[in-house]
Amino acid sequence: MIIETHGLTKQFNGSGGCKDISLSVTEGRIFGFLGPNGAGKSTFVKTLLGLLIPTGGQARIMGQPIGNIKVRSKVGYLPELFRYHDWLTGEELLKYHAQLFHLSKGEYVKKISNVLEIVGLLGKEKQKVGTYSKGMQQRIGLAVALINDPLLIFLDEPTSALDPIGRKEVRDIIIELKKQGKTVFLNSHLLSEVESVCDEIAIINHGNLVVSGSWQDLQVGELQMEISINNYSQQIGEKLKLLAIKLEKKHNNVFLSLKNEQDVNDALKIIIENSGVITKVQTKRQSLEDLFMFWIKKEGKERC
């Protein structure tokens, strides 16, 4: 595990922040940390980075306790509300950060043009950061987070200032980072962003961890399945009825409510083994928004 926390807590005079968070992040995965405004996402990340001192619990990054200098050199961080030095050019800003990581001139010249290309700012590096648009500021922030070729990258709302094209580009960058074997910890309240790139997620609300796991682990309720069968027979219907919570049939279409994904396979097997010819299969789960609301409300009820 590249990140492991046990009861990690950071509160401000006994309130706010994040409380008793225990989670682990596997190396090479994209981990989405999801929660509404004020849920405690940024506090958690800043505490992991050693920028805030925890008020309780423990955490390890790359096997080392929070704040380890060697580990810091392998970590990248894009803060949520950053303001870099307006009077520096993009290139000077990157050079400054590269030097903080003790990169030699030979190393940083190459690295700077590499990260500028990744974030789409090549050609804009001689321009002062103060003259950058909001989207360009976010891109240069991302470039800074990548300058040390980190193994683990924390991105706190990386697309908040970006237009739809920019958002897509950042999503592609995140996927590319994963391909390179890097781990990305992504703070976001944008459900679609988290859904499209994350392997695992955790939901936080009012500072509490509500749930964590893969998308599949977070699923609640029944799974709806629609199958079109050319030669539906009574035998198929009877066997499917034994498997499904509910079955409805309209013409060649069978609508099933199933317990889980395993039952999808079993339903298909029943049809094939009974000489059914399947022409269409569709499964539907609750929308991501419904799931998110379910878990957030659950936490609210448990708190009362």
Q: Are 142 and 119 in contact (CB under 8 A)?
A: yes
73 alpha-carbon distance from chain centroid: 23
Contact flag: residue 189 with Mg ion (CB under 5 A): no
- Number of Cβ within 10 Å of residue 23's Cβ equals 20
**Of the candidate residues 189, 190, 199, 294, the single one contacting ligand ATP (CB under 6 A):** 189
Q: Which residue from 180, 156, 152 is spatially nearest to 66, judged by alpha carbons?
A: 152
- Tell me the C-alpha distance between 224 and 266, whole Å: 14
Tokens representing 304 are: 């009362």
Q: Which is nearer to Mg ion, 82 or 96 (CB)?
A: 82
- Using the rule CB under 6 A, which residue among 8, 23, 34, 42 binds ligand ATP? 42
Q: Given candidates 80, 149, 195, 266, which one binds Mg ion under the rule CB under 5 A? A: 80
Query: Is residue 35 involved in binding ligand ATP (CB under 6 A)?
Result: yes
Considering the complex, what minimum distance in angstroms separates the CB of residue 17 from Mg ion? 11
Nearest residue to ligand ATP, using CB?
A: 16
Q: Which stretch binds ligand ATP (CB under 6 A): 20-28, 36-44, 219-227, 238-246?
A: 36-44
* Cα 301 from Cα 304, distance rounded (Å): 5
CB nearer Mg ion, residue 42 or residue 159: 42
**In angstroms, rounded to a whole number, what is the distance separating the alpha carbons of residues 214 and 194?**
12
List the structure tokens of 289. Answer: 């928004």
16 interface partner picked from Mg ion, ligand ATP, none, CB below 5 to 8 A per type: ligand ATP
Question: CA 276 to CA 236: how far, in whole Å?
Answer: 8
**Binds 189, which of Mg ion, ligand ATP, none (CB < 5 to 8 A, cut-off by type)?**
ligand ATP
Binding site residues, Mg ion, CB under 5 A: 41-42, 80
Binding site residues, ligand ATP, CB under 6 A: 12, 16-17, 35, 37-43, 80, 189
